[in-house]
Amino acid sequence: MAATTIATEAKTTHSTSRRRRSVEGKPFFAVAFTALFFVLLYVPIVVVILFSFNSKKSLSVFGGFSNRWYVQFFNDEGLQSSLRASLMIASIAMVGALLLGTMLALALERVSSRPARAVGTVSLVPLVTPEIVTGVAALLFFTGLGLKLSLVTVIIAEITFSISYVAVIVRGRLSSMSGEVEEAARDLGCTSWQALRFVTLPTIMPALIAAGLLVFALVFDDFVLAFFTTGVDPQPLSVRIYSEIRLTISPAINAVGTCMLAVSVLLVALSLVIPRLFGRKDSSLDLISGG
Amino acid sequence: MTDTARQENPVADAAAIDDQPAIRLINLTKKFGEVTVVDHLNLDIRRGEFFSLLGPSGCGKTTTLRMIAGFSDATEGTIVLGGEDVTSVQPHKRNVNTVFQSYALFEHLDVEGNVGFGLRRKGLDKSEIKRRVNEMLELVDLAGRASAKPRELSGGQKQRVALARALVNRPEVLLLDEPLAALDLKLRHRMQVELKEIQREVGITFVFVTHDQDEALTMSDRIAIMNNGLIEQSGTPEDVYERPRTKFAAGFIGTSNLMTGMHSEAVLTLESGLSIPLPGHPELTQGAAVSIAIRPEKIWMAEFDPGMVRIPGTVSATVYHGATTQYLVDVAPGVRLTVLEQNLARSRHDDRWTDGDTVELGWKPEHVVVIG
Amino acid sequence: MSTDLQDAVAATLPGAKRQSATRTRLWGWLLLPPAAWMIVFFVSSILIVVALSFGTVNANGRPAFGTSLANYQALMNTTYLTVFIRSLVYSVTTVVLCMFIGYPVAYAIALHGGKYKNALIAALVIPFFASYLIRMYAWSTLLSDEGLVNQALHTVGFTDGVQFLNTPGAVVAGLVYGFVVFMILPIYASLERMDIALIEAGKDLYHSPLRTFFAVTVPATRAGVLGGVLLVFLPALGDFVSAQLLGGPSTFMIGNLIQQQFFESQNQPLGSALTVVLMLALLVFMVFYLRATQRQNRET
């Protein structure tokens, strides 16, 4: 009884900050379980990072700190060209997916014709298609057209896959923006194109940056699509790592993996933080938690 | 009534520039599929006036405003703006500006950037823009907040930015779409006064859309009452309040005691059998159905003048409002009149009448409004 | 003649010759490039997969389109069927495990996360956007015969060592580790949306927290759980990395078979048929999922 009263008070005082107080007592099981979960979640990542600094060529015995595997990574011309290839793929795919995905989001928010709705539905399909299916399809499409597999084919496949992510994030932001804002721009002397250029795009810029960072991280890390669509040389970093893991065990992979983890953690963290810096509550988190 | 309004052809002599209205709507119609939202509207809005489009939601007032602004195409009819047909002119080329209900401020720009937006699009030079923006921020009392972002402003301040952003362009007409609807009551009353003052100061024609009758009455030079896509009545606030021409107008603005009955020889006989003297209306035909409206504050309960129409009744409820007291008085089975009495100092009683009291009601014949 | 007719028809339409003031064809044009891209590179490529699954491999080892059912007939043998069933069993197990792991975690964060809630969600999401491959590789080194886990077991007395890799358990664990976040986030979202008053009312009604949990909280978050089931099952059924790095031929899933057909056997038509089977399985699952969510919508 008393607990209920306290809970109600807590709710009223915190209702603006949308925080909830414990209302069912502390379920120690759930809290302890969650702690364990987070430990297990991070153990493999910590191990990769730790052993990337191992002075020994062992994946189980730690012999002291050393940067030898990083030196080896930066001196390995093959890995370096793969790294450059992955950075290039991610950059171009990011720009392409942002461009096409934003166009798609803008159009779908405003055109409600039957073909537009059909395109809207189709554009969501890649999000629920296993990557292996998309990968096989892309591979057959390129070989069927007689295209030589190369970084170009990887980029095309990655753009196709990423458009949906951008469209979902940007649409989320657009739908929270009043249509009157664009009318206001036209009222103040803009053509519809200028309204887009001077008002709509600047307004949704934080969402665009977040979507771009997320796409970069996803594409940079992506293995399955790259695996199916890449040519022989140079291969994206993830494909390269895959073939190395299967052949030998080399601690240099830990160094590469640490670098990849660092890049994606940084980008994803930024994509979560940037919309908040611009004073908005929504972020790319909505992509997964909101759906 | 509406039929005659439709048949009128208000296209005047184009040479009479001075008499030219700021806005002239001719047979303006908007259909969404089968639904007619605005139905052959004819309306002149004069230069420099504060004009309100008043009506319940869905009456077509906002659609009319959007057609004037150019955000919505007219299905039929013509929009003349300052003597020029703008029906198919794109919004950015029309010399009107809009204050939106949601304010529609540009989140990525600060107050100064928002207000100067239209001037920059026009390509004015920087010092001129700066001067006019500052002048306008001064006018709307936001001089200290030029570099604030919209999200840092209160509702009232956002409202002023939206107003300044539109006014700074010195449009021929300023369109305001329920701009005060999102504000709380106190702020709304303050903004009503300020808005009216600003309008007097800048002398620009204001077209103000609202569903709030008090707002329309207190601010407007003229009001058009809209219902179902038609204008029920237009005129000065006094006109539409004192002399409503339709039942809708009588009921929508303020409270009215509406009674319908048969008229013969200056007496209105209601369905309930009650006879109400109706002197001074020789224009009425004998045996016709007639509706009359009397405002609650025009009915007296004591100190009658000679020449008043007087009928007996029974008080069924009293509601104390502070400055006034409202009485509901049954004058016949099913006929209940609302009476509003001032609680004046000289007539101070604890309760002049209470429920169940038998009273007499009286009104001057000229305060009875006969509707169609 | 025809223009006369058109003019006549046009004249009868009210406002037919009016010029629109709004004229915003811009949005229509914006739709064109992404729509064209999706149709060319996604829709048509999926159609090619379906078409090639009826194809054959010709004499010089190159794939050719056709109308043969041979590839599907080839799949009807015990080797392939075993793999199909194994894939299903692994995926369903993964979904169930994710549910039992994900629910308490989502619950603890949503209802007891306090001011750390957003930070915890970020901490949860960030590693899942980090390379899946690297994370799987990390587990493979941890669980290997000489890995850290076995070393730890050795020091506490299990001198024999335990073989983790090449076991179904390792593959399923990898899948769970890879996709559990897709279970947690929808459940978390539905817990966040749930009216807290429901739990309070439940406590008055059922007295025990556990009974309240099963009578009130679980039904209120059913949509979230269903969403999570979908988001975990789809990638799990198509995965081949976990079975490749943590398992072996005895734990191969349908994804591994597809990968083999394209990169080792070079039998693209058979690989396509396998892909189509995978797509059909997912489609059937989607239909059941949509039915379930519709029922859920009707009930609430």
On the question of pLDDT at B68 being above 90, the answer is yes
**Where does the pLDDT of residue B125 fall: very low under 50, low under 70, confident under 90, or very high at 90 and above?**
very high
**Where does the pLDDT of residue A15 fall: very low under 50, low under 70, confident under 90, or very high at 90 and above?**
very low
- Check CB contact of B166 with chain A, cutoff 8 Å: yes
**pLDDT score for C19:** 62
User: What whole-number distance in Å separates Cα of residue C171 and Cα of residue C166?
Assistant: 8
On the question of pLDDT at C18 being above 60, the answer is no
Query: For testing the chain B interface, which of C12, C17, C23 should be mutated: the one with the most B CBs within 10 Å?
Result: C23
The nearest alpha carbon in chain C to B28 belongs to C15
Neighbours of chain A (3+ CB pairs under 8 A): B, C
Of the candidates A110, A125, A260, the beta carbon closest to that of C27 is on A110
User: What whole-number distance in Å separates Cα of residue A27 and Cα of residue A91?
Assistant: 46
On the question of pLDDT at C255 being above 50, the answer is yes
On the question of pLDDT at A81 being above 90, the answer is yes
- Residue range(s) of every CATH 3.40.50.300 domain in chain B: 2-95+171-249
The nearest alpha carbon in chain C to A48 belongs to C138
- Residue range(s) of every CATH 2.40.50.100 domain in chain B: 255-371
B chain contacts of residue C20, beta-carbon cutoff 8 Å: 73, 88
State how far the alpha carbon of C298 is from the alpha carbons of C219, C284, C294, C295, in Å: 14, 21, 6, 5
Query: For testing the chain A interface, which of B89, B98, B108 should be mutated: the one with the most A CBs within 10 Å?
Result: B108
CB contact under 8 A, C14 and B89: no
Higher pLDDT, B175 or A245: B175
The nearest alpha carbon in chain B to A180 belongs to B104
**pLDDT score for B293:** 92
- The stretch C30-55 carries a mean pLDDT of 93
Mean pLDDT, chain C, integer: 85
- Check CB contact of B169 with chain A, cutoff 8 Å: yes
- The stretch C110-127 carries a mean pLDDT of 85
Query: For testing the chain A interface, which of C25, C129, C282 should be mutated: the one with the most A CBs within 10 Å?
Result: C129
Neighbours of chain B (3+ CB pairs under 8 A): A, C
Say which range, B251-260, C40-49, C191-200, C264-273, has the weakest mean pLDDT: C191-200
- The stretch C31-44 carries a mean pLDDT of 93
The nearest alpha carbon in chain A to C181 belongs to A288
Question: At which residue do the structure tokens 């191969």 appear?
Answer: C252
**pLDDT score for B352:** 76
Mean pLDDT, chain B, integer: 89
Contacts of B280-284 with C-beta under 8 Å, sequence gap 24+, read B280/B365, B280/B366, B281/B370, B284/B370
On the question of pLDDT at C300 being above 70, the answer is no
On the question of pLDDT at A73 being above 60, the answer is yes
**Where does the pLDDT of residue A26 fall: very low under 50, low under 70, confident under 90, or very high at 90 and above?**
low
Q: Give the CATH number of domain B2-95+171-249.
A: 3.40.50.300
Query: For testing the chain B interface, which of C12, C13, C20 should be mutated: the one with the most B CBs within 10 Å?
Result: C20
CA dihedral B70, B76, B81, B82 (to 10 degrees): 170
CB contact under 8 A, C21 and B91: yes
DSSP 8-class letter at C217: I
Quote the minimal CA–CA distance from A276 to chain B in Å.
Answer: 13
Decide if C116 is inside a domain: yes
User: What whole-number distance in Å separates Cα of residue B187 and Cα of residue C76?
Assistant: 76
Query: Can you give the residue ranges of every domain in chain A?
Result: 24-66, 78-289
Quote the minimal CA–CA distance from A230 to chain B in Å.
Answer: 41
C chain contacts of residue B90, beta-carbon cutoff 8 Å: 21-23
**Where does the pLDDT of residue A291 fall: very low under 50, low under 70, confident under 90, or very high at 90 and above?**
very low
Of the candidates A188, A199, A202, the beta carbon closest to that of B97 is on A188
**Where does the pLDDT of residue B161 fall: very low under 50, low under 70, confident under 90, or very high at 90 and above?**
very high
CB contact under 8 A, C275 and A111: no
On the question of pLDDT at A287 being above 50, the answer is no
**pLDDT score for B4:** 41
User: What whole-number distance in Å separates Cα of residue B3 and Cα of residue B369?
Assistant: 22
Domain extent, residue C291, equals: 78-299
What DSSP line would sit under B48-101, residue for residue? Answer: T-EEEEE--TTSSHHHHHHHHHTSS--SEEEEEETTEE-TTS-GGGSSEEEE-T
**Where does the pLDDT of residue B66 fall: very low under 50, low under 70, confident under 90, or very high at 90 and above?**
very high
**Where does the pLDDT of residue C24 fall: very low under 50, low under 70, confident under 90, or very high at 90 and above?**
low
CB contact under 8 A, B105 and A181: yes
**pLDDT score for B99:** 95
Strands B96-99 and B257-264, bridge-based pairing: unpaired
**Where does the pLDDT of residue B120 fall: very low under 50, low under 70, confident under 90, or very high at 90 and above?**
very high
CB contact under 8 A, C31 and A104: yes
Rounded CA Rg of chain A: 23
The nearest alpha carbon in chain B to C23 belongs to B90
CB contact under 8 A, C21 and B76: no
What sign has the CA pseudo-torsion A259, A265, A268, A274? negative
CB contact under 8 A, B106 and A185: yes
Decide if C5 is inside a domain: no
| ipTM of the complex model | 0.84
φ, ψ for residue C147 (rounded to 5)? -70, 175
**pLDDT score for A63:** 83
**pLDDT score for A3:** 36
- The stretch A14-21 carries a mean pLDDT of 39
> Is the domain defined by B255-371 classed in CATH 2.40.50.100?
yes
On the question of pLDDT at B6 being above 70, the answer is no
Measured from the Cβ of residue C288, the count of other Cβ atoms closer than 10 Å reads 11
- Check CB contact of C153 with chain A, cutoff 8 Å: no
On the question of pLDDT at C208 being above 70, the answer is yes
Quote the minimal CA–CA distance from C6 to chain A in Å.
Answer: 25
**What residues 221-280 of chain C have any CB closer than 8 A to a CB of chain A?**
227, 230, 234-235, 237-241, 244-245, 255, 258-259, 262, 268, 271-272, 275, 278-279
Q: How many independent structural domains does chain C possess?
A: 1
**CATH at C293:** 1.10.3720.10
Decide if C196 is inside a domain: yes
What letter represents residue A183's amino acid?
E
Give the end-to-end CA distance of chain A in Å, rounded to a whole number.
37
Say which range, B20-24, B248-252, C147-151, C240-244, has the weakest mean pLDDT: C147-151
State how far the alpha carbon of B224 is from the alpha carbons of B17, B54, B173, B207, in Å: 24, 6, 17, 10
Tell which residue, A177, A176, A172, has the closest CA to residue A285: A172
Rounded CA Rg of chain B: 25
The nearest alpha carbon in chain B to A179 belongs to B104
C55-65 pLDDT, tens digit per residue, is: 988 877 788 88
- The stretch B214-236 carries a mean pLDDT of 94
- Check CB contact of C194 with chain A, cutoff 8 Å: no
- The stretch B23-32 carries a mean pLDDT of 94
**Where does the pLDDT of residue C232 fall: very low under 50, low under 70, confident under 90, or very high at 90 and above?**
very high
In chain A, the largest separation of any two C-alpha atoms, in whole Å, equals: 74
The nearest alpha carbon in chain A to C111 belongs to A22
On the question of pLDDT at C10 being above 50, the answer is no
Quote the minimal CA–CA distance from B185 to chain A in Å.
Answer: 22
Query: For testing the chain C interface, which of B73, B87, B93, B96 should be mutated: the one with the most C CBs within 10 Å?
Result: B73
**pLDDT score for A135:** 95
B171-213 pLDDT, tens digit per residue, is: 999 999 999 988 888 888 988 999 999 999 999 999 999 999 9
**pLDDT score for A276:** 75
Decide if C241 is inside a domain: yes
The nearest alpha carbon in chain A to C231 belongs to A128
- The stretch C61-87 carries a mean pLDDT of 90
A chain contacts of residue C115, beta-carbon cutoff 8 Å: 19
- Check CB contact of C110 with chain A, cutoff 8 Å: yes
**pLDDT score for B348:** 55
**pLDDT score for C20:** 66
The nearest alpha carbon in chain A to C235 belongs to A130
On the question of pLDDT at C278 being above 50, the answer is yes
Answer whether C260's CB lies under 8 Å from C270's CB. no
**Cα C246-C250-C255 angle, rounded to 5 deg:** 70
A107-150 pLDDT, tens digit per residue, is: 988 877 888 888 888 888 888 888 999 999 999 999 988 889 99
Say which range, A47-56, C63-72, C211-220, has the weakest mean pLDDT: C211-220
Decide if C239 is inside a domain: yes
CB contact under 8 A, A60 and C133: no
- The stretch B218-232 carries a mean pLDDT of 94
Fold (CATH) for A78-289: MetI-like fold (1.10.3720)
- Check CB contact of B63 with chain C, cutoff 8 Å: no
**pLDDT score for A248:** 72
CA dihedral C291, C292, C294, C299 (to 10 degrees): 140
Total CB pairs under 8 A between chain A and B: 70
Mean pLDDT, chain A, integer: 83
**Where does the pLDDT of residue C23 fall: very low under 50, low under 70, confident under 90, or very high at 90 and above?**
low
Query: For testing the chain C interface, which of B29, B40, B90 should be mutated: the one with the most C CBs within 10 Å?
Result: B90
- The stretch B53-81 carries a mean pLDDT of 93
